[in-house]
């Protein structure tokens, strides 16, 4: 494993942490479960985050403003300054004001603080951008490289959480669960209305665009449903894995979508994948296919998805990701037919929050103590794509248009 150390003298620093809003009813006074299952390693053998300590109980709500990722006691005990806010989008927002003299900025994919080149230009002290989770496309990676700002994330921390969400969404779409549940909530019982779009997933062809940690795990979880599994990835899986899961490899996305009943998107967002699923690609899909997108909203063209659902080219679209985030209230995906959208919750279950909060603390401990940061956590280092970044991303930026997030109005 390649390790990265920071040799410059560490002084007192300002850490800006951008997190999503607290629950409308206030922070929970208790939780449904009293503890979490004990996990030590991920499926590939990599250990879970191993900070020296944590100042929270696993299973607590940590990803919102009052949760503070459990960092305040740790940072302030070392003399550092922690600023936490959810105000991140409109002109003059608190995050922009605090960024100007921040040394480190922490953001989550679920409530991303879009670090555009323009914002990075204002941050003269910025040394590192940490993603509390996985997926660092909300940072202009090219600008970070140009300015020698390191970008790191907590690789694998919520990958399995997202894979579970994918399975839930596939079954919910194909079985038309959302419609059936809505009928019951409305006091109804018309079975014909409830089942007229409901099918079995058994025997269907399920394919993933990218078969990394999330995509491959989703395929593994779907195999017991007796489906046919397909994948496209620029890194071919070992023959042993293909044989184990009876996988069909496709050398292009076009080849995969032509034969699949359900396509799940699990590739990173970068200039090469932006708007990948446009009118042209969707027209090549099997008529009536389903798309599940837990990767990034901008991989799918907004208008193309809405149009395909309306025409019937797509039977359903379940997305956990939008662009921008939060999505404006009039975003087409909120009102399009036969959708199963969620507000980017797949990777921020309370179980996942424990792992990514612990991972952020591990990264900070390493940085402050001038000790190595895990190579898989690296996205940009010393002006170059590094670690997982070199494996998954390409140079450039996909942050353009993120200012639209300021149009979101909270419905209190």
Q: How many CA atoms lie within 13 A of 25 on its CB side?
A: 3
Beta carbons of 157 and 359 less than 8 angstroms apart? yes
Backbone φ and ψ for 120, nearest 5 degrees, come out as -60, -35
Q: How far apart are the first and last CA of the chain?
A: 48
In the annotation, is 296 catalytic? yes
**Which one of 138, 270, 339, 344 is the catalytic residue?**
344
In the annotation, is 213 catalytic? no
Beta carbons of 129 and 108 less than 8 angstroms apart? no
Separation of alpha carbons 319 and 322, rounded Å: 7
**Which one of 296, 339, 361, 374 is the catalytic residue?**
296
**Which one of 108, 158, 301, 313 is the catalytic residue?**
158
In the annotation, is 158 catalytic? yes
Separation of alpha carbons 1 and 137, rounded Å: 24
Strands across the sheet containing 128-131: 81-85, 14-18, 104-107, 128-131, 150-153, 378-381, 384-385
Backbone φ and ψ for 314, nearest 5 degrees, come out as -110, 140
Beta carbons of 236 and 211 less than 8 angstroms apart? no
**Which one of 266, 313, 325, 338 is the catalytic residue?**
325
Active site positions, annotated: 158, 296, 325, 344
């Amino acid at each position: 494993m390649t390790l990265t150390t920071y040799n410059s003298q560490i002084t007192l620093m300002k850490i800006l942490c951008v997190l999503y809003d607290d629950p409308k009813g206030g922070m929970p006074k208790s939780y449904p479960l009293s503890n979490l299952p004990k996990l030590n390693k991920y499926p590939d053998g990599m250990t879970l985050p191993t900070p020296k300590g944590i100042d929270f109980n696993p299973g607590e709500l940590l990803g919102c403003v009052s949760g503070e990722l459990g960092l305040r006691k740790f940072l302030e005990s070392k003399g550092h300054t922690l600023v936490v806010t959810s105000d991140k989008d409109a002109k003059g927002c608190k995050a922009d004001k605090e960024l100007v003299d921040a040394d480190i900025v922490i953001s989550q994919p679920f409530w991303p603080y879009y670090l555009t080149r323009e914002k990075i230009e204002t941050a003269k002290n910025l040394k590192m951008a940490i993603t509390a989770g996985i997926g660092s496309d909300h940072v202009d990676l090219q600008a970070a490289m140009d300015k020698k700002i390191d970008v790191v994330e907590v690789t694998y921390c919520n990958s399995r959480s997202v894979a579970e969400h994918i399975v839930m969404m596939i079954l919910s779409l194909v079985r038309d669960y959302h419609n059936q549940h809505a009928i019951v909530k409305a006091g109804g019982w018309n079975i014909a209305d409830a089942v007229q779009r409901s099918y079995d997933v058994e025997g269907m062809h399920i394919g993933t665009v990218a078969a990394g940690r999330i995509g491959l795990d989703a395929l593994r979880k779907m195999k017991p449903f007796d489906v046919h599994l397909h994948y496209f990835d620029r890194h071919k899986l070992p023959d042993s894995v293909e044989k184990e899961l009876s996988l069909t490899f496709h050398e292009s996305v076009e080849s995969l979508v032509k034969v699949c009943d359900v396509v799940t998107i699990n590739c990173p967002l970068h200039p090469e994948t932006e708007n990948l699923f446009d009118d042209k690609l969707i027209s090549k899909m099997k008529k009536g296919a389903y798309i599940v997108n837990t990767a990034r909203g901008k991989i799918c063209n907004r208008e193309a998805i809405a149009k395909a659902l309306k025409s019937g080219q797509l039977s359903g679209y379940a997305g956990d990701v939008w662009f921008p985030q939060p999505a404006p209230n009039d975003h087409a995906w909120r009102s399009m037919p036969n959708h199963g959208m969620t507000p980017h919750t797949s990777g921020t279950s309370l179980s996942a929050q424990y792992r990514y909060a612990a991972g952020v603390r591990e990264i900070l401990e390493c940085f402050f103590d001038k000790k190595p940061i895990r190579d898989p956590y690296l996205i940009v280092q010393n002006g170059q794509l590094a670690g997982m970044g070199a494996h998954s991303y390409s140079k450039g930026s996909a942050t353009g248009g993120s200012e639209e997030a300021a149009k979101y109005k909270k419905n209190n």
